[in-house]
Structure 1
């Protein structure tokens, strides 16, 4: 958390940024800019905050539900921090450098089942899919993508940092004002404790509802960690070193602490592109029978560093999303 003094210094910048956001949204609201509607179904998933809110596992949850219903699906992402530009339809020749870490994770997980694309211009990508055999387009990190009129707008908010307690950037981490949550068709609070009490839920709902349209469903999800899967090496050891470059890794580290003997943690910025020197610091701690444990998003990057990690025991922990209180987004997707 930033100090009160820092907030005072940052306040004028927040005012300027906030005025820009107000103007941008106003121009869309008065139809100066007109969002494009597409024939193929479009589901937008995003958040109000800068940083992690669990978009990736929720997109994967949607994909798995829609695949079971025999839909042809395309995931369209901006491809944050990629080294390329323009539109790319992912193939085996791509890696996290060419398309970004989240798109390559989708591609590796749903290979041959889902069309994964990256493009700075989502409208262009959707136009391409209009002539393809696609039933549903999922726009990743697209709540602020107002040039597209989605059929369903899903807003995510981390329960650890709910949007209704946050402030506009740079005083806080909000990309736009709390009131703009009213564009959401659904609000999902992610990262909840699986034992969340109904009284806690009701308190969160009461605080969130003032920013939403009447009858907007509010859902609650939590993350379930699965058994580790291999990146390199053969034997998994219970003594582990953890490495992460996700926005809020504390829950991940806490899970490892509860299940294994956690020797040391290495925390990097969200979407960090590893350098050899970063991994050499990790390797330096691998003395004896120790496994390196990482997140699924990091695994798609670390697998490219076989020259350094290939002789070590490296595993990642897959995650799945589950919904609480018998109310899942799948109940609202239709047939």
Structure 2
């Protein structure tokens, strides 16, 4: 009888404990949601002010109240209307290779996000290439490694960077990486990338959402490219949103290349990843898209460490990633090309490789035709 009563009492106590735990979890969720709502309310005035400033700035450019500087060659801008993750770097690489293939002397200018240096700086003359990324930023450094015979200059002022690169090299065309909002420099072709994962929530002005300016700014573009359409599926929203924006639109897909590359340039075939336990490491603007791209290979994703775009890894970060990957019995740690260049030299127990990707555009040749028309 005593044991029976004891059993009943334990069941009651367990029930009370579980009930209290559930109430505590619900309370935490409620508090978290309240904090999010409060933060958003506090950010609304900043978002309104930022939107007002960018709208006024665009108006002053549209009415020729601000000067626009011109360089002595053709200029193509690759940009976006949101912060990061739209695929600018692989698009710049694609265009640079295409322009080379039609016999044009190409240069690239970039801001050099995350670099330790200041002022305008030559990354590469297209032949001699840097050994580390810190002075130039991860994106400019990656482009310097992947491209040959293409000079690259970084600088906060796109015009000053353009003056530097045209004074040292005989160029037919310059590609601006992330140039849509840099209106002080004339461009002959304005291409804007929109990540197909974008939605109503992200399409709010900074800092509430990801918009760098109001959507109607897209009317300045000569071509809009919906990117990663094979990774995200939100084109219905974008088509409705931009139905009154009278700018030609095309799609692009992001596909993994056949080989992955390691820190010491060693390669493995992506077929080796099928059914393997993979731990992901990424510090880009679209970490979710990176995960979906790796999943398409057939890998078994066991975990992911995500960092902010352009994050500079510390040795302790990589040690923690290695330990976390080991807990999940990962066979490989897979990262992005942009992140691989920032990984400190350590002796990893679990091998680290970068997934190399390439862009495909549809309709076929539409983008190339647009580029080629500049030189007719």
Q: TM-score under structure 1 normalisation?
A: 0.88
Residue of structure 2 in register with 1:123 after alignment = 159
Q: Is the 8 A contact 1:163 1:174 kept in 2?
A: no
Structure 1 pair 312–3 and aligned structure 2 pair: CA distance change class (3 A):
closer
- Answer yes or no: is 1:297 the counterpart of 2:329: no
Structure 2 counterparts to residues 299-314 of structure 1, below 5 A: 299-302=340-343, 305-309=344-348, 312-314=350-352
Residue of structure 2 in register with 1:10 after alignment = 43
CA positional deviation for 1:315: 1.0
Q: Is the 8 A contact 1:101 1:301 kept in 2?
A: yes
CA positional deviation for 1:250: 1.4
What is the rounded CA distance, in whole Å, between the counterparts of 2:202 and 2:301 in structure 1? 32
Residue among 257, 276, 279 paired with 1:226 = 257
Structure 1 pair 175–203 and aligned structure 2 pair: CA distance change class (3 A):
closer
What is the rounded CA distance, in whole Å, between the counterparts of 1:194 and 1:19 in structure 2? 34
Residue among 283, 300, 303 paired with 1:261 = 300
What is the rounded CA distance, in whole Å, between the counterparts of 2:105 and 2:200 in structure 1? 33
What is the rounded CA distance, in whole Å, between the counterparts of 2:132 and 2:301 in structure 1? 30
- Answer yes or no: is 1:322 the counterpart of 2:370: no
Deviation string 1:179-225 (CA, Å, 9 cap, x unpaired) is: 111110111111102898xxx86774343132x3x3x2111111011
Q: Is the 8 A contact 1:166 1:172 kept in 2?
A: yes
CA positional deviation for 1:286: 4.8
Q: Is the 8 A contact 1:239 1:291 kept in 2?
A: yes
Structure 1 pair 70–50 and aligned structure 2 pair: CA distance change class (3 A):
same
What is the rounded CA distance, in whole Å, between the counterparts of 1:194 and 1:267 in structure 2? 18
2:117 alignment partner, SS class: coil
Structure 1 or 2: more helix by fraction: 2
What is the rounded CA distance, in whole Å, between the counterparts of 1:330 and 1:273 in structure 2? 35
Deviation string 1:139-172 (CA, Å, 9 cap, x unpaired) is: 1111010110100011111110058971111221
Residue among 239, 248, 252 paired with 2:290 = 252
CA positional deviation for 1:4: 5.0
CA positional deviation for 1:325: 3.6
Query: Is there any run of 5+ residues in structure 1 with no aligned partner, and where?
Result: none
CA positional deviation for 1:15: 1.4
Q: Is the 8 A contact 2:196 2:235 kept in 1?
A: no
- Kindly tell me the number of residue pairs found equivalent between the two proteins: 325
Query: Is there any run of 5+ residues in structure 2 with no aligned partner, and where?
Result: 1-32
What is the rounded CA distance, in whole Å, between the counterparts of 2:196 and 2:37 in structure 1? 23
What is the rounded CA distance, in whole Å, between the counterparts of 1:116 and 1:94 in structure 2? 15
CA RMSD of aligned residues (A): 2.6
- Answer yes or no: is 1:83 the counterpart of 2:116: yes
Q: Is the 8 A contact 1:279 1:308 kept in 2?
A: no
The structure that has the greater radius of gyration is 2
What is the rounded CA distance, in whole Å, between the counterparts of 2:49 and 2:289 in structure 1? 34
Residue of structure 1 in register with 2:316 after alignment = 277
What is the rounded CA distance, in whole Å, between the counterparts of 1:203 and 1:254 in structure 2? 20
Q: Is the 8 A contact 1:48 1:163 kept in 2?
A: no
Residue among 69, 74, 81 paired with 1:41 = 74
Residue of structure 1 in register with 2:172 after alignment = 135
Q: TM-score under structure 2 normalisation?
A: 0.79
